[in-house]
Amino acid sequence: MKTIIIIVLILFSFMVSNAQVFPEPTGNSGDMDNKKKKIEKCEDHASTGARVLKFNTSNRRYSFEIAFWPDCYQTTGAKKNELWQTGCDFSDCNPGWNKAGRIAFWRHHTPEINKLHLGWKAHDQISDYLKLSAYFHEKHPDNWGHYFVSHYMFNVPTDHWIDVDMFLGLEVIGLIIENKALGMRKPGWIPEPKKSYLARTFYFGEKDKSKNCFSFKDMWIQFNSQEYDHSDYLSAFNSCDTMIWNITEFASDDDEDFYAYDEIWGSIPTKFDHYVQYPSDAPSQVKVQQKCVVKSGAEITFTAGKKVILYPGFHAKPGSHFIAKIEEKVKSASLAEKHKLKKAYLPPVESFDTIPSDCGENNNPFKNSFESNETESKITGNKYFNIYPNPSPGLFTLHFDDGKNTAFAVEIMDMMGNVVYKREYVQAGNTAIDIRERPKGIYFVKVLAGGKVYTEKVVVK
């Protein structure tokens, strides 16, 4: 690793015509209505449908605010036991990166396409946080198959508005998440103008039918402030704190100045698995060497407020003109405000209350593989477990008696997953619970007994 704070010049005797790395999007710009998306329990995605379909397009832009309800988790998340169906080996069934939002280009005469998404998955270390990435699918004309690259970029809390601004062109990918920008430059990526569309995609991994792994809660996200094909993506790209260029070859006619308020990376660290992930069965030609190459004839400037870092994959070839320099700038008040995460205050979703035992008569391909009715009572919690009165002012009776355990533990959580009441070694039978000091709303009461978990909802008025 090397931090550059001086000017680096690699000169050539003549320059060719200049090209803009982020060309203006094709066609007219516009906006779309706000939209809540729901993944039904026992499903892996919400239906999407093509939006703003355009023909003979070269470059598309799609920006939006997105918020995830706190119940969006997967097997590596802190609440995995609440989301995944009984019978799943939690250590083995991880769907990897999930998807939200999409720009897509058709290739040739096949529905297989080049697609850019916001990648997301539950943080494996921090509760109520998500990891976000640039998630790109590629269908190669040589029929490699359908492969992807996911470039990890950001950690964000659930229940907050997240600003996303994506760009997909014939030769470049750009993704901005809040105050961090990622660019991938690959001339000839998509050979010629294609039919393209946008979509409010919402995917939750994939159903793994060999391991009984699939979501068994409804899941929700909200799209707001959606714009498409608006101009001057470069200005937004140059308004971030951090900028990363990877899987990049700046072409001989590229002439561009890039700026970041804190730092710019040319390529990424040698141990890149933390940042860039490919499917295990991807062919070697898909697993592109992590690099940022400035080709002969290109004029590229990296300017950062604090540092420019050129990792081993960076290379400015003879005949190129590359400058790296430090220049501090002061953010405008409006930009500083834009880069602050905003609380979403998402309303309660009643469907989170129901945790089905079998995901419905027709939807669960593993219904007959579950062990017994004890599994059902473990999930629904209404055979041995009752709360009354419900609703209540916060003072209620919890009745639990499964005929096997003389004592149990109880936890009560609010809608954000915060534990507001906890008690161990409670005797089976009737127990008085008092949470009148808590705010009015919906709470979840969990009983843990004999290695099983029983859940009921209580409403405090």
Do residues 318 and 388 share a domain? no
CATH at 167:
2.60.120.560
Q: How far apart are CA 170 and CA 193, in angstroms?
A: 7
- Is omega for the bond preceding 391 within 30 degrees of 0, making it cis? yes
DSSP string, 401-451: --SS-SEEEEEEE-TTS-EEEEEEEEESEEEEEE-TTSPSEEEEEEEEETT
pLDDT-wise least confident of 217-221, 328-332, 415-419 = 415-419
Q: Quick check: is 300 in a domain?
A: yes
Q: What angle do CA 403, 404, 409 make, to 5 degrees?
A: 100
Confidence at residue 95, expressed as pLDDT on a 0 to 100 scale: 56
Least confident stretch, 14-28, 172-186, 356-370, 396-410: 356-370
Residues 287 and 412 grouped into a single domain? no
What pLDDT was estimated at residue 339? 84
Point out the domain boundary residue: 324, 343, 362.
343
In this structure, is residue 333 part of a structural domain?
yes
Q: Which of 303-312, 343-352, 363-372, 414-423 has the highest mean pLDDT?
A: 303-312
Whether the bond into 389 is cis, omega within 30 of 0: yes
Residue 63 domain flag? yes
Per-residue pLDDT reduced to its tens digit, 7-24: 444 433 333 335 689 999
pLDDT of res. 282: 64
Q: pLDDT-based confidence at 249, cuts 50/70/90?
A: very high
Same-domain check for residues 328 and 387: no
pLDDT at 296 over 60: yes
pLDDT bracket for residue 107 (50, 70, 90): low
Burial string for 230-242 (b: 16+ CB within 10 Å, else e) reads: beebbebbbbbbb
Q: Is the pLDDT of residue 372 over 60?
A: no
Domain-located, residue 349: no
330 and 442 together in one domain: no
| Spatial separation of the C-alpha atoms in residues 169 and 193, rounded to whole Å | 9
- How many CB atoms are closer than 10 A to CB 454? 22
Averaged pLDDT of the chain: 77
Residues 183 and 82 in one domain: yes
pLDDT score for 416: 62
Share of the chain above pLDDT 70, in %: 70
Give residue 318's pLDDT: 95
Alpha helices in 277-356, H assignment, sequence order: 333-338
Band (pLDDT 50/70/90 cuts) for residue 281 is: low
Strands (E), 5-109: 30-32, 35-39, 45-46, 51-57, 59-68, 98-107
pLDDT of residue 325: 96
Position 250 scores a pLDDT of 95
pLDDT at site 204: 74
Residues 315 and 399 in one domain: no
pLDDT computed for residue 212 by the predictor = 47
How confident is the model at residue 461, as a pLDDT?
86
The residues facing 138 across adjacent strands are: 147
Q: Are residues 334 and 409 in the same domain?
A: no
Is it the case that residue 427 has pLDDT exceeding 90? no
Q: Is 420 domain-assigned?
A: yes
Q: Can you give the pLDDT at residue 130?
A: 85
Same domain, yes or no: 315 and 446 = no
Q: How far apart are CA 438 and CA 408, in angstroms?
A: 23
Give the count of domains, the chain: 2
Examine the domain organization and report whether 20 and 138 are in the same domain.
yes
Domain-located, residue 353 = no
pLDDT at residue number 191 = 74
381 in the same domain as 322: no
pLDDT of residue 348: 65
Residue-level pLDDT at 367: 30
Give residue 13's pLDDT.
31
Both tokens of 235, joined, read 């200005």
Is residue 364 a part of any domain in this protein? no
- Say if residue 407 is in the same domain as residue 311: no
Residue 291 has pLDDT above 60, yes or no: yes
pLDDT class of 306 with cuts at 50, 70, 90: very high
Measured CA to CA, the distance from residue 87 to residue 74 in angstroms comes to 15
Residues 153 and 295 in one domain: yes
Name the band, by pLDDT with cuts 50, 70 and 90, for residue 216.
low
User: Higher confidence at residue 305 or residue 209?
Assistant: 305
In a domain, 350, yes or no: no
pLDDT higher at 88 or 324: 324
Better pLDDT: 400 or 204: 400
Query: Which of 4-13, 124-133, 211-220 reaches the highest mean pLDDT?
Result: 124-133
Give tens-digit pLDDT for 128-167.
Answer: 788 888 988 876 655 555 566 788 888 888 888 999 999 9
Q: Which of 35-44, 62-71, 305-314, 334-343 has the lowest mean pLDDT?
A: 35-44
Higher pLDDT, 217 or 151: 151
**Residues spanned by the domain of 229:** 2-343
Q: Measure the CA–CA gap between 63 and 231, rounded to whole angstroms.
A: 11
Q: For residue 405, give the CATH number of its domain.
A: 2.60.40.1270
Which alpha helices (H) appear in 170-326, and where do they start and end?
233-237
Each residue's pLDDT tens digit, 57-89: 999 999 999 998 876 655 444 444 444 443 444
Q: Taking residues 439-460, report their average pLDDT.
A: 82
Report, as an integer, the average pLDDT of 320-333.
94
- Does residue 27 surpass a pLDDT of 70? yes
**Pairwise CA distance, residues 286 & 176, whole Å:** 24
